[in-house]
Amino acid sequence: MRFLKYFLYAIKILWKNKLRTSLSTLGIVIGIASVTIMLALGEGLKKQMLENLSVSNDVITITPNEGGNWGEVGTPGIGKMQTGDSETPTSQPTIRVKEIFTQDTIDKIKKYVPNVKTVLATGNAYGGETNFEGKTIYSSIVGVTYDYFKTKNIKVVSGYGFTTKDFKNNAKVAILGNDLVKYDLEGKNPIGKTIMLGGYAYTVIGILDKSNDWNVNYAISIPMTTLQSSFGVSKFQNLAIYVKDILKIEDTKKNVLYLLFKLSEVFSPSEVKFRLESNDEAIKYIDETVKQMKLFLVGIASIALLVGGIGIMNIMFVSVVERTKEIGIRKAIGAKRKDILMQFLAESVVISILGCILALGVSLIGIYFINKYSPMPAVFSINVLLTASLVSVSMGIIFGIVPAWKASKLRPIDALRFE
């Protein structure tokens, strides 16, 4: 309750000196707005770099590998894997190494590994000769799951995509890669026409948009269930694990590896028949680079913040001098040093908080125009908001403590004699 009285009285005093308060607040607004915009630019830069990293920056891929290249992570110990809300049981059904690329593995990864958004699987019939309207072409035949193209953000630009009915009925339908149509089919429209795959006639229902993935551009995609039934492919060729937070991809990779070790009953690197790959090193590099850049940008903006803080200190020193007699009277009638200290400190903090509120408004306007007219994005996040708020309160305390301390040390008799 006493703290509330300090702040209410501080607001009353500052309101009486509107011009002085406005000038003090202006310095804080410029300083905090500068820091906030620089932090937002740093966040935007990180987001842009991560988006442009590659076609699969948020993916952990698992592929067969006879050489046993399982990555530079330690062999898991015995016990339970920490998974946030759940734990992997120490005794659970295991499968042999050659059966690691199955639906059972996908289900267990989704269930036991945190930070997993989805898991995609592909199968490969290794392609070969394909016949289209009497012309022989060579292409790989890939079996895909229902959400494969949506997750990889690859659109069907002509025709339509696979339906759940196609997977249920093992339908003989195919979607062709963009470059396959452009170069191998010489730009002819294949929609609705028949293409021969493995001795079976498939109806072409769609053409994919140009992708950054070369394999997709030249592949013939068919439903995974159709690949398994028509080509005798019982196992997936590879698994792609999409993560929710790419900055936690390294921990996710370790948890996936741990689970695969348990499922395949392998406890020696030489026995491993699968390989894990991700862009976690590149992501870590981007994160560190952006952190350094943000520190540099904030360092420059902090100069304005320092100027604003010094402005608060000067104004508070002037206020102490002007109110010396008031301090003497308050001490003479029983006010303690702590009361005087807290009163002037409250005034300093109120100026900073007011400056923070105005600075956030200025920052939002600045970020809006940056995003509208600049190629570099700016992202205003909760972290930026919390940082700005913390900085403002800290400034009020740091730059207000010396004047407040000076006011609290005044002796009543000296203060009352002051002219």
Question: Does the pLDDT of residue 8 top 60, yes or no?
Answer: yes
Give the C-alpha separation, 318 to 312, whole Å: 10
Q: What phi and psi, each to the nearest 5 degrees, are found at residue 135?
A: -100, 135
pLDDT band at 79 (very low <50, low <70, confident <90, very high): very low
pLDDT at site 161: 94
pLDDT band at 34 (very low <50, low <70, confident <90, very high): confident
Pair 50, 374: CB distance under 8 Å: no
Pair 294, 42: CB distance under 8 Å: yes
Q: Tell me the chain's radius of gyration from C-alpha atoms.
A: 33
If you search the block for the tokens 């630009």, which residue do you land on? 157
Residues forming beta bridges with residue 240, ordered by sequence position? 61, 120
Question: Does the pLDDT of residue 97 top 60, yes or no?
Answer: no
Q: The tokens of 152 are what?
A: 């990889």
Range with the lowest mean pLDDT among 55-69, 122-136, 195-209, 388-402? 55-69
Quote the pTM value.
0.48
pLDDT band at 399 (very low <50, low <70, confident <90, very high): confident
Give the C-alpha separation, 347 to 9, whole Å: 8
Q: The tokens of 401 are what?
A: 């403590």
Mean pLDDT of the chain: 79
CA 17 to chain centre: 45
Q: The tokens of 219 are what?
A: 């592949």
pLDDT at site 415: 67
pLDDT at site 282: 67
Give the C-alpha separation, 332 to 325, whole Å: 10
Cα dihedral sign for 151, 152, 154, 159? Answer: negative
pLDDT at site 54: 52
pLDDT at site 113: 93
pLDDT at site 126: 62
100-154 pLDDT, tens digit each: 778 888 889 999 999 999 888 887 766 667 888 888 888 888 989 888 888 888 8
Question: Does the pLDDT of residue 49 top 90, yes or no?
Answer: no
pLDDT at site 70: 35
Greatest CA separation for the chain = 110
Q: Select from 248, 246, 276, 257 the least CA-distant residue to 109.
A: 257
CA 365 to chain centre: 23
Give the C-alpha separation, 145 to 152, whole Å: 12
241-284 pLDDT, tens digit each: 889 887 788 889 889 988 888 887 765 656 666 777 776 666 77
Q: Select from 105, 121, 91 the least CA-distant residue to 264.
A: 105
Cα dihedral sign for 334, 337, 338, 339? Answer: positive
pLDDT band at 83 (very low <50, low <70, confident <90, very high): very low
Q: Select from 22, 31, 28 the least CA-distant residue to 304.
A: 31
HSE-CB at 301 with a 13 A cutoff on CA atoms is: 24
How many other CB atoms are found less than 10 A from the CB of residue 11? Answer: 15
26: Cβ contacts below 8 Å, ≥ 6 apart: 308, 355
